[in-house]
Amino acid sequence: MFSLKALHKNKTLKYGVPMILLVVGGSFGLREFTQIRYDDQRVKRKLDPSLEAKVNVQKQSVILEEEYMKLEKTNLDEWKNIRGPRPWEDSKEYQEQQRARLNKED
């Protein structure tokens, strides 16, 4: 009976051991919960195999020289920079003004 009272009064056993169990157990618990999260994301990211094949073909088919040839065909000398409407401006009205200005210049 004496040893039980001594153990009950021991602050290390009363406060330290539960705290250590809480920290270590919480660490393992959080690891499991985060693993579930990442597993769920991995499942959601999987694509249909036919769709994935199409996506991979499109990524591989882009060649730098082909893109350069497309840009060479465009006429950049006649390009006009048109500013978009400001947040406080009426966009429809501003677009009509820009179109009218472009038609006058042509």
**Model confidence over 39-67: pLDDT tens digits?**
877 777 776 777 777 766 655 666 788 88
Residue 24 lies in a domain: yes
Q: What is the mean pLDDT of residues 93-100?
A: 82
Instruction: Quote the pLDDT of residue 66.
Output: 83
Residue 37 lies in a domain: yes
Q: What is the mean pLDDT of residues 73-102?
A: 80
Contact assessment for residue 35 and residue 27, using Cβ atoms and an 8 Å cutoff:
no
Distances from the Cα of 37 to the Cαs of 17, 25, 40, 43, 87, in angstroms?
A: 30, 19, 5, 10, 40
**Domain count along the chain:** 1
User: Model pTM greater than 0.75?
Assistant: no
Contact assessment for residue 104 and residue 95, using Cβ atoms and an 8 Å cutoff:
no
- Identify the domain containing residue 57 by its residue range: 2-77
